[in-house]
Amino acid sequence: MVDKDDFQCDFENKWCPGCGNFGILNAMKQALADLEMPPEKVLIVSGIGQAAKTPHFLKCNFFHGLHGRALPVATGAKTANRDLNILVNMGDGDCYGEGGNHFISAIRRNIDVTLLVHDNRIYGLTKGQASPTSERGFVTRLQPHGPRSDPMNPAALALSQGAGFVARGYVGNREHLTGLIKQGIEYSGFALIDIMQVCVSFNRVNTYEWYAERVYDANRAGHDENDFRAAMNLVFEDKEKIPTGLIYRKQTVPFSDRLGRPGPDALLREKYNPDKVQNLIDSA
Ligand SMILES: Cc1ncc(C[n+]2csc(CCOP(=O)(O)OP(=O)(O)O)c2C)c(N)n1
Ligand SMILES: [Mg+2]
């Protein structure tokens, strides 16, 4: 039996008291334990930012890489070892800004990972600049008039690029978020969970109170996650309400199955042979 505490790691944590990241960390542990995933079968990949520190606080395999580049690393890891359950933690800046192109490519390739975006609408680590999901006019110390650009719509972008699993969670609703993470892990293919995460230090607009007035459970309100048109309508809904839950799900062929390699984890079992590599270099 796998327990939530099996993932407990006592590395010093410097997230601010009240940070929404704690809720995501706890929901991840709960989801992994509920699914009976042994830590040695789990790999967490991240980039750079406060969100990207999440794997430091989980006792399992992890790779903390470059800003915006978590998804290419996850693609390589999954391609080499299909047995790994891979979760990717990225911030809104990390994923939708610096790593925006990788985000689109990962969707189109349908890499078999669960992407958790800690979407706090701000660059937290670098102390509060506007991110791709900040509203136009969102004033920061760097942008006294706010950004001039309109915010990105990650769920709509993911749907438009053919994503087979698109969900939106909220840190203030931990049980609901845990359920979405579990469904994302169980999904075969690329799963996006865009998580409304509160940054208590640098985003004084999108607070717990602000979300409490807007967030609702779309599935409970009758949304059918199998209906693509309904999903598209939902993600363009009036901004005064924020639908959360499973927005869209369809069956897809994951990237590892598209490669057509013989065994399920052949690359992992293949012995490293430097002569073969040298021959390849010499023949170029
Ligand atoms: C190539 C590169 N560009 C810029 C930075 C500076 N930088 C570090 S984290 C970050 C953005 C963090 O924002 P987000 O991804 O939303 O994460 P959060 O801290 O809000 O969780 C930036 C711009 C960097 N480390 N590397
Ligand atoms: Mg952020």
Distance CA 140, CA 81 (A): 43
Residues in the 5 Å CB sphere of ion ligand 2: 91-92, 120, 124
pLDDT for the residue numbered 97:
98
The atom of ligand 1 lying closest to the CA of 47 is 15
Distance CA 30, CA 262 (A): 35
Q: How many domains does the chain have?
A: 1
The C-alpha torsion from 255 through 256 and 258 to 259, rounded to 10°, is 130
**Global pTM?**
0.96
Distance CA 269, CA 181 (A): 30
Beta-carbon contacts of residue 219 (< 8 Å; ≥ 6 apart): 225, 245, 246
Tell me phi and psi for residue 65, to 5 degrees. Answer: -110, -140
130 lines ligand 1 (CB under 6 A): no
pLDDT tens for each residue of the chain, 284 residues long: 999 999 999 889 999 999 999 999 999 999 999 999 999 999 999 999 999 999 999 999 999 999 999 999 999 999 888 889 999 999 999 999 999 999 999 999 999 999 999 999 999 999 999 999 999 999 999 999 999 999 999 999 999 999 999 999 999 999 999 999 999 999 999 999 999 999 999 999 999 999 999 999 999 999 999 999 999 999 999 778 999 999 999 999 999 888 876 566 667 888 888 998 899 999 98
pLDDT for the residue numbered 277:
87
118 lines ligand 1 (CB under 6 A): yes
- By most ligand atoms within 8 Å of CB, the mutation choice from 123, 133, 138 for ligand 1 is 123
pLDDT for the residue numbered 272:
84
What domain range is 148 assigned to?
4-282
pLDDT for the residue numbered 208:
98
Going from the Cα of 126 to the center of ligand 2, the distance in angstroms, rounded, reads: 9
According to DSSP, the β-strands at 165-170 and 242-249 are antiparallel
64 lines ligand 1 (CB under 6 A): no
Helix residue ranges, H only, the chain: 21-34, 70-80, 92, 100-109, 154-160, 174-186, 208-212, 228-235, 255-258, 266-269, 274-282
Residue at token pair 């079992």: 269
194 with 151: CB under 8 angstroms? no
123 lines ligand 1 (CB under 6 A): yes
As to burial, measured by CB atoms within 10 angstroms (0-12 exposed, 13-18 middle, 19+ buried), residue 277 is: exposed
Beta bridge partners of 246: 167
pLDDT for the residue numbered 257:
87
The atom of ligand 1 lying closest to the CA of 202 is 20
**Closest by alpha carbon to 116, among 92, 98, 132?**
92
User: What's 107's domain CATH number?
Assistant: 3.40.50.970
Distance CA 45, CA 271 (A): 24
pLDDT for the residue numbered 270:
80
Q: Would you tell me how many other CB atoms lie within 10 Å of the CB of residue 113?
A: 29
